[in-house]
Structure 1
Amino acid sequence: MIIDVPEGKDPINYVWGEMVPGIGGAAANFSLKVYSDSTLGLREFEAARLRIAQINGCVFCQDWRTERDGEKVESTFDEAVRNWRTTDAFDERTRLAAEYAERYALDHHGLDEDFWSRMTAEYSQNHIVELSMCLGSWLAFGRLNHVLGIDSICVLPGH
């Protein structure tokens, strides 16, 4: 970790909230809204989120599982996300969400007509914009946490 976090302080809250309260607070609000206001299905949401986490290398983000109404994805979901091209655990929307996440993070210039044709066949324009904003949030903030090294010291309860 390259940031000195005072003893007894939560690393995420300290870095995001105390070090740069104006920017960090706005970023935290955006990050929270992605979870609280998303209209995407849980499986497609998690496929996209986890693929970004895997690409970023954010330990905390890879360990996290979004819960909605007491439901979470199955324990093997992260492996299915790694193998999004070949897994039989995904429907087309979930597979596209993982593909979009990967291409958004690694090859956004390569988002071609074929991809957009497949994407618009499954997703409304509103959902495409929503997913794009979610991807931007996860890419930016998961990468920030990993680059600063705070992802490895923030752990989920029980870990």
Structure 2
Amino acid sequence: MIIDVPEGKDPITYVWGEMVPEIGGAAATLALKVYSDSTLGLREFEAARLRIAQINGCLFCQDWRTERDGEKVEDTFDEAVQNWRTTDAFDARTRLAAEYAELYAADHHSIDDAFWQRMLTEYDQREIVELSMCLGSWLSFGRLNRVLGLDTACVLPTHRTS
């Protein structure tokens, strides 16, 4: 971690909440809303989120699994996401979510009309906007945590054990 965190302080709470409280608080609200208010199906949500985590290299994000109504994706889901092009574990929506995440994070200039036509066969415009906002949140905040070395100390505030 490249940030000096005072003894006894939680690194995430300190960096996001105390160092830049106005920006950090707003960022934390967005980061949590992506999980609490998303209407996307769990599999496409997790495929997109995990693909961003893999690209960012965020250790916490790669280990995290979103739970909805007591359901989580299977233990091998991260491997399927890594191999989204060839896996037989994905339907069209899930595969497109992983593909869109990769393009969004690593090659957004190559997103063309043909890609959008494929997306629009599986997702409506509102879902595309929602997915895009989720991708933006995961890309920016996961990368921030990874770059600053916070990803080894990260716990979502609503999932703290202490």
Same fold (TM over 0.5): yes
Q: Which residues of structure 1 form unaligned runs of 5+?
A: none
TM-score of the pair, normalised by structure 1? 0.96
Counterpart of 1:143, as a letter, is R
**Partners in 1 of 2:39 and 2:73 — Cα distance?**
16
2:23 is aligned to 23
Check conservation: 2:12, 2:153, Cα contact below 8 A: no
1:49 is aligned to 49
C-alpha deviation, 1:153, in angstroms: 3.0
Counterpart of 1:118, as a letter, is R
Provide the aligned C-alpha RMSD in A.
1.4
**Partners in 2 of 1:104 and 1:129 — Cα distance?**
13
Q: Deviations over 1:65-107 (max 9, x none)?
A: 1000010000000000000000000000000000000000011
Q: How many pairs does the alignment contain?
A: 158
List aligned pairs for 1:86-97, cutoff 5 A.
86-97=86-97
**Partners in 1 of 2:153 and 2:127 — Cα distance?**
33
Check conservation: 2:48, 2:101, Cα contact below 8 A: yes
SS in 2 for 1:33: helix
Counterpart of 2:132, as a letter, is S
**Partners in 2 of 1:108 and 1:38 — Cα distance?**
23
TM-score of the pair, normalised by structure 2? 0.94
Residue identity over aligned pairs, in percent, reads 82
C-alpha deviation, 1:152, in angstroms: 1.9
1:65 is aligned to 65
